[in-house]
Amino acid sequence: MSYDTVTHSFPVALLLYLWSFLQMGLNSLLASFYPRPTNPPVDLGGKTAIVTGANSGIGFETARALAAMGAHVVLACRNELRGQEARKRIVQLTGNPHVDLEIVDCASFGSVRAFLDRWEQRHVRTVDILVNNAGSLSGTVSLTKDGFEQTYQSNHLAHVLLTHELLYRGYFPPTGRIVSLSSGGLYLSSPLNENNISGQDVLSRYDHEIGRRISPEDMIQLYVRTKLSQAMWTIALQRKLSLSKEWKDITVHCCHPGPVQSPIWRQPSGAGATFGITVDVLRFIADRFGIPSEQGAITPVWLATAPEPASESLRGRYWDRKQWQWLAPWALDEQRQEKLWASVLGKSSAPVVSVTDQRLRLLRTPRAAGPAPCARSTAMKVLSSLVVVAVVAMCVVCVSAIPLVTRATDESNPFAGKTFYGNAYYRSLVETEVGRLKAAGKTELAAKAAKVAQIPVFSWIYDTSSVNDITGYLEDAAAIQKKTGKKQIVQLVIYNLPERDCSSKAAAGELHLTTSAAGVTPYQKLLESAKSQIQKFPDIAVAIVLEPDSIGDLVASNSVAKCKNSAKAHKQLLSTAIATLQLPNVSLYLDGAHAGWLGDSLAPTAALLGEILQDARIYHRNATVRGLATNVSNYNGLGNQKEVGRDELKYIKALEPYLEKVGYPAHFIVDQGRAGNQKAPHGDGEEWCNFKYAGFGLRPMVTTHPLVDAVVWVKPGGESDGTTDTSSSRFDTACTSPASYVPSPEAGDWHSEMFRLLIEQANPSF
């Protein structure tokens, strides 16, 4: 029978779907009373299998069964200790010594790619069987460091990346098998589209606040969407492979392993963090009606080894108890599958398969659209209400989840789909510090510092000579992009306004407004130089933060004579900078100061920004900017502080309507490089200079918030904010405040003591 919605009328397809839904529900409730299923023995000698999440539950039992059949089994696990224990048990139980452990964290694309790179070094690289089992269920608003909703990346995107890269690198033989663990819970998923597949609509109900507890219903909805995503991707992938001469005999399946007993309801990262009668009922049902993990592994092992599922007429289906089942008509619709395929693979909103998709883009002309998906009928709602509680419990626990720690990102977000470029200069400074720490016997701190060296920070253009460094950054990024196939975004700060830092002395610059030749003209030349260098690299994206502190001083420092006297020139030069840097690969972010500085001056701030942008259009009629950079070099939290003046998310949300009113784009990047220690005491706002309680903060990433493009590290942690030498012309009394580290070197110079404090007080820790 054809597995689509074309050869059947919509009513027939709907009835088939309802029948499968009801059958799944009954199977789940009665599973513990059925005779225990078994699989026929299959000789897997000489075969290699990879099982993700193989240290416990279904993953462990699947790996054990494959090892018992003689396969060389690779356990892809996040936790090394638990993985080693699982490997030892499997070897003891099966007598098969060919069991390896690989560390793979599905919450990190970097971890998956590192595993693939290690695999490339193996003597035998063929993968005969891949079982995508690892997953998570999060009870809070959680993001991976790649910027995606945790459940979405861990359950779906990571396995898409792993599977497609193994295909792309040629590791699957012509008769390879790919099995993904889905869940009967997919029947409870909302109809998927490009806007909700990543869970953005759910996260928006909680203002995208990291760590905020979500309702059991939303937790389950995020989970079941990922399981339906796996099923729809399975069908689409099989269809595309069948069109390829090279891969036409590879078999792809997904399955509901059954209502497996699982600790998932008590994991602190998932349902264990969620309270209420709903979860209590689900825990009870799971414990009462669930089946052992050994039985849950029956169907995935059968799909991975038996001859029947490999027959051409049965490939690319969703299975339950070794029987293929119907999905909702809209889930089987080829056009919808193609749209979701494109949203995951073809757009910058999901930077998971950048090079792979070139060989997998076997897109046929979509078939004629069938009847439009309709809302659930009354009968369907009644049916759902009769079985929903029992079914949810059975479906969600089907995969023994391993605790793992995107918005379907706006396509115009310049950071989406790109690797944040980190310059070699900062890396060298940190690596030098690593050497000092090792020499001092501080090996643990040195190991943490080595991790900081890999974090991408902004490169600062702070005088008329450093502007010449731009070409080097772009050449380096272009070489990386060419070598890896991963798009880079180079992050720059232009910080050299004449009379910059007018409200303090610590970071005073080289240009002055005494004459045009001393200030305005060299600044304009700096802008032209930056433009000409960037123009030579049209394929490299560039994000530029324009003049930190400039807007803060223009709005709030008129009482300072130096600021008042330079205000007109600063406004004009900011407009000039916007107009000059109108390049298709450049995204401009003006200074947004921070919540404590301009949080009570929202209307004046927006009015000024609107005026500067309008003036830029005098010089360039289509001049625009991407938005604002906030908290640059400062210490405020992001969505985790009660005080309005200490929370950038509250500030951003409050500022947004004022910006819209004046026609200024409300998109933000937020510096969290030194904002990790939010338990630190805060004084009167003068703790900006070498704040000794600071710690490294959230790592750079694309975010899920509709207003925030990315969390970034603009200020390179470890560079001084200002000197404590009272004889220096740049000495500022703020640098000797009780909250400042004393002694400290000149602004911009390396500060070993502060760097070490930032590591020790980091949150998240290294």
Catalytic residues: 501, 549
CB 36 within 8 A of CB 296: no
Calculate the alpha carbon distances from 287 to 175, 282, 291, 295, 402 in Å: 39, 9, 9, 15, 18
DSSP string, 312-356: GGG-S-EEETTEEE---HHHH-HHHHHHHHIIIIISTT-TT-TTT
* β-strand partners of 588: 544
Q: What is the rounded distance in angstroms from the CA atom of residue 654 to the CA atom of residue 602?
A: 8
For 201, the token pair is 């609509």
Token reading at 416? 């989406």
- Residue 730: CB atoms within 10 A of its CB come to 17
* 401 C-beta neighbours (distance < 10 Å), count: 31
Rounded distance between C-alpha atoms, residue 511 and residue 517, angstroms? 9
Contact 505, 728 (CB under 8 A): no
185: region left, alpha or beta (phi > 0 left; psi from -120 to 50 alpha): alpha
Q: Residue with structure tokens 């869970």?
A: 199
458, 492 Cβ separation under 8 angstroms: yes
How many angstroms separate the CA atoms of 155 and 142, rounded?
14
Tell me the C-alpha distance between 267 and 288, whole Å.
18
3-class secondary structure per residue, 177-222: EEEEECCHHHHHCCCCCCCCCCCHHHHHCCCCCCCCECCHHHHHHH
For residue 724, give the nearest of 711, 713, 714, 737 by alpha carbon. Answer: 737
End-to-end Cα separation, the chain, in angstroms: 54
Spatial separation of the C-alpha atoms in residues 549 and 714, rounded to whole Å:
13
* ω into 743 cis (within 30 of 0): yes
Six-digit token string for 11: 């009513």
